[in-house]
Chain A
């Protein structure tokens, strides 16, 4: 039994494009963001609308490859391709773009992208365990704040920052509750529907509406689960997906995992639980900028060295979601995730003795059959299908 709210979720993208057109007419400013490190609180506090930018589809990659090298990760190529072909409405409507130095490919790509839109690149520290890391990141937050104020012609007040913190914490809590529904065995929501909901939320223009919709969906799932319904049979192998970001257009691995007899119950990746673990500290005696900086720096991304928090998180999630097997998805040429995969496999096997597979692929369909064989064999290993 599929939650009825999924129909509304699926329709969100079109609705949001309309909402953006309206916002534009009302002279609202729109700020496009590529990555989970981008502090949405600052954008909201500037009275602007933060939106995710396209970068999960294969179609614009050919255009990107006229400029960028082929052996670059598909996410970078897709993002760039969407922008230069003007096929991402969110990029099109953006007044300003926030980017980050998450990897070498991205940071150099942004040097080319700035020809198309006013863009600011935040410099991330290389790791979080040095004494100066938070100070550095705080400084970057302040630089971004000035850039936003300058480009959008506004002033970001402490009051607005505090309000934005509260709003986004509520959104995080709502998302976390949605994810947690799939701790139930068998999972009440398919992984494909979950990624659809997570991904669509990113493009959502009105935060309050988005939170209501996610809550409505979660309530509905709770109801369905209460009646004992699930799209999966009892005993279906439960999969945790970790690794590179996934969205609609690049969901082939999730689709195959479920077609071949698995159930993707947990998304550790950036669009998933990785960014929901911590809320921004709402303590009003603190400098909100510091509280924001602190929270964003805790995101366990493979661009940080070392990144042991990710391994700890995976370990926790395996327990919380009763996971039978881990799939570590790496986009081709994403060096940081591909290399870190070794540590993920070691940790998963040593601590849990459950199977872990790293799948390296891109957005194209050229390797579908090969992937299918790997994924089927993995599910067979887990005793499924």
Chain B
């Protein structure tokens, strides 16, 4: 396009070859990137015989006016220096598509076809400067005096901190931003305060503010590192300024080369709008300046180390992990999900689907056999059997989640499953098979009930938590006993928890029928708990009670405990590899007792949320549990022992149970036990997942040949 324009009319021609530059606040000889950009422009323009001009911005508010002046002056290419001008360019460039722009240190969003952005990997330069600082510091404290909180400065600052810590893990990095690039005095005073706090290397990253900082620090005897360009020539006046022997190096950005090349390309008609040019170690766009007067401080060893870091950064073997906006780029969610074993999840889903499918076959076959026995023709048999499958599963679906009432029922149904499932899962995480959840559930319910009916006259916000605490404690103690027995004597928890189940169930049975029996009741049950010890109903017409919230909270808390706390880490480590846990200094015995106590506590809470939550209960009956504790084992297995998996698993369990009633109503010919068959099949398929893997040709995990990384040299 530019080539063509040379041949058209002369005003057009003139307009096209003029190049203008607007500085960030500052001058074209201020020793910052303003100067460098200007020098790049001057070199290119002189050589190519281009006419060029510039405007020095005095106040940030003038950016736009300055730009418009240059456009008015018929500039065909305008170079803008600094992040501060970026937003203005974004607007102006859109309105003047015939003018090309080169932005230094700013990327326009969205990209425009007449804007080329020059950006730099300041994080790499900063990283190298940090590595240097980390090598030469004696006090292990270094400081950064940074300019405005804009991406390039953030990248310098964070890169510096990472680099310093990379070579020297013991190093402490002090840092502070000054919200101006033109406040040398402020920079200086911060630098001096850093020196006072023990920093012996100061990195000034922020225009004149930074320069003020390093001059101040250098005069105070600290080592200093400059920024953007080799500050030995600028800030320290070619070594003539005081303290110049303290300048170790500078983290430089070759703005001059970048601008020079951009101008050349533009003049030659190769202007590439809508793109970014990134100056990095790879293309020499960033780097470290010579050591100058500090030549002797930087030993051969340090140079070798820096060289190694440079090469690794350049080749990508080492990453600064700092994003374009200066954000920390740790692992993203995607990075984590990628290493997940999705096959596991597929097995679970397929196990459930397969179980439902087999359930359907069972219905079909039983019905078909019946009808054939009655002598009906095949066509009718098939039709009827099909119809029965549809009505049975239709009923199951409707009864489980088909209406708000059904959904509410399933939700209420699933709360004890959630708690029992969490209890078993927590045990599994520690490598313990807590079969005693049923017993712990009974003890929890018993303790909570006793507190619930024997105390009266308390407000609900005291009485209910008290009852819950009593129940939790009861379950915890009941769980801790087999845990302690295992830790002390090595007695296997499976045996002991089974025994403890009998004790708990029979104890409750005795108490409920004798000393604690409500004499006014015909049924064997305790007195009703006080109103103040009941979970308030959230949606009274659907009987949704607030213990549901307790279950959700428990899922979150167990997850947090297991994955975010040191105790959880210990428990999981013991579960995953007890030998390694011992090696790592973790007390395996303590983890056993803790995990069993917490497991029992969760189980106890599962028991109390039935008696204190369900309006149909509100008192303890002899056989109040329909085997929640044992179903908890199934739920935990289906959840793969992960707390977040417990909810879907428990809901599936609750929904199947809840929907079974309507299923039987709709399809008279089949028994409610079909649900048990389906549940049983799900568990069988999960326990023996090879069946599912074989059925669906899923590859088993842990195959020896699947090694993601191997070898060494390359």
> Do chains A and B interact in one complex?
no
